[in-house]
Amino acid sequence: MTRLLILLLAAACTPLPALAQTPADLPPADARGSLLVRGATVHTVTQGTRVADVLVRDGRIAEIGPGLSAPRGVRVVEAAGMHLMPGIVDAHSHIALSSVNEASTPVVAEVQMRDALDPTAIEIYRALAGGVTTIQLLHGSANPIGGEAETIKLRYGTLDPDGLLFEGAPRTIKFALGENPTRVHGGRGVRPSTRMGVEQVIREAFTDARIYAAAQDDARRAGRPLPPVDRRMETLAGVLDGTVLVHCHSYRADEILMLVRVFRDFGITHLTFQHANEAFKVAPELAAFGAGASVFSDWWSYKFEVYYSTAYNAAVLTRNGVRTSLNSDDAGMMRTLYHEAAKTQRYGGLTDDEALALITINPAQQLGVDARVGSIEVGKDGDLALFTADPLSIYARVSMTVVDGVVRFDAARDGDDQRLSIDPAERVAAVRLSEDEIDDACMIDAFTF
Partner 1 sequence: MFSVRTAALLAALIPAAASAQGAQYRPVAGTFALTDCRIETVTNGTIERGTLVVRGGRIEALGANVAAPADAVQVPCNGGTVYPGLFDSGDRVGLQEIGAVETTVDIDEVGEITPQMRALTAVNPSTVHIPVTRLSGVTTVLTFPRGGLLPGTAALIELSGYTPDQMAAGFEGVVLAFPRQGRRGSFDRREQAEVDKASREALAKLDDVWRQATLYARIDSARTAARDASPQPYQPEMAALLPVLRGERTLLVEANAAADIVAALAWLKDKNVRAVLTGVSEGWRVADQIAAAGLPCLVGPVIALPARDADRYDRPFENVGLLAQAGVLVAIRSDEEDNARNLPFHAGFAAAYGQEVGFGPAQALAAVTINPARIFGVADRLGSLEVGKEATLFITAGDPFEARTHVTGLFIRGEQVPLVSRQTELYDEFLRRGAATTP
Give one DSSP letter per residue of 51-87, joined into a string. Answer: EEEEEEETTEEEEEETT--PPTT-EEEE-TT-EEEEP
Could you say which of 5, 16, 24, 433 contacts partner 1 (CB under 8 A)?
A: 433
Nearest to partner 1 of 66, 332 (CB atom): 332
Judged by CB under 8 A, the residue of 70, 261, 266, 353 near partner 1 is: 261
Q: How far is the CB of 437 from partner 1 (least distance, A)?
A: 7
Q: Does 307 bind partner 1 (CB under 8 A)?
A: yes
Q: Which of 67, 223, 432, 448 binds partner 1 (CB under 8 A)?
A: 432
According to the binding rule CB under 8 A, does residue 289 interact with partner 1?
A: yes
295 with 324: CB under 8 angstroms? Answer: yes
Closer to partner 1 by Cβ: residue 194 or 421:
421
Selected binder of partner 1 within 124, 198, 246, 396 (CB under 8 A): 396
Q: Which of 173, 260, 376, 384 binds partner 1 (CB under 8 A)?
A: 260
Pick the closer one to partner 1 by CB: 171 or 261. Answer: 261
Which residue type, as a one-letter code, is found at position 207?
A: T
Give 167 or 423: the residue with its C-beta nearer to partner 1. Answer: 423
Contact criterion met (CB below 8 Å) for 124 and 163: no
409 in helix, strand or coil?
A: strand
Task: Name which of 188 and 397 has its Cβ closer to partner 1.
Answer: 397
**How many C-beta neighbours within 10 Å does residue 379 have?**
9
SS3 sequence of 273-332: EEECCCHHHHHHHHHHHCCEEEECCCCCCCCHHHCCCCCCHHHHHHHCCCCEEECCCCCC
Task: For residue 120, give the amino acid letter.
Answer: T
- Of residues 166-185, which lie at the interface with partner 1 (CB under 8 A)? 179
Q: In angstroms, rounded to a whole number, what is the distance separating the alpha carbons of residues 286 and 268?
A: 14
Quote the crossing angle between the two packed helices 195-222 and 231-240, to the nearest 10°: 100
* Positions in 19-58 near partner 1 (CB under 8 A): none
- Single residue of 46, 311, 413, 445 touching partner 1 by CB under 8 A: 311
Which H or E run includes 149?
Answer: none
SS3 state at 391: coil
Among 176, 280, 373, 441, binds partner 1 (CB under 8 A): 280
- Closer to partner 1 by Cβ: residue 116 or 169: 116
Non-local (6+) Cβ contacts of 148 within 8 A are: 109, 111, 112, 113, 114, 139, 171, 172, 173, 174, 235, 244
Using alpha carbons, select from 302, 289, 349, 291 the residue that is nearest to residue 325: 291
Question: Given the rule CB under 8 A, which of 2-10, 29-37, 138-146, 327-335 is the region that contacts partner 1?
Answer: 327-335
Stretch that binds partner 1, among 52-60, 147-155, 343-351, 366-374 (CB under 8 A): 343-351
Q: How far is CA 89 from CA 58, 174, 188, 283, 362, in A?
A: 21, 17, 37, 23, 9
Tell whether residue 428 is a contact of partner 1 (CB under 8 A): yes
d(C-alpha 436, C-alpha 33), whole Å: 39
> Looking only at residues 106 through 145 of this chain, which bind partner 1 when binding is defined by CB under 8 A?
122, 125-126, 129-130
Find the binder of partner 1 among 165, 210, 347, 445 (CB under 8 A): 347
In the complex, the smallest distance separating the C-beta of residue 428 from partner 1, rounded to whole angstroms, is: 5
Q: Which stretch binds partner 1 (CB under 8 A): 4-12, 70-78, 258-266, 374-382?
A: 258-266
| Residue 419 interacting with partner 1 (CB under 8 A) | yes
Q: Is 266 in the site for partner 1 (CB under 8 A)?
A: no
- Give yes or no for residue 332 binding partner 1 (CB under 8 A): yes
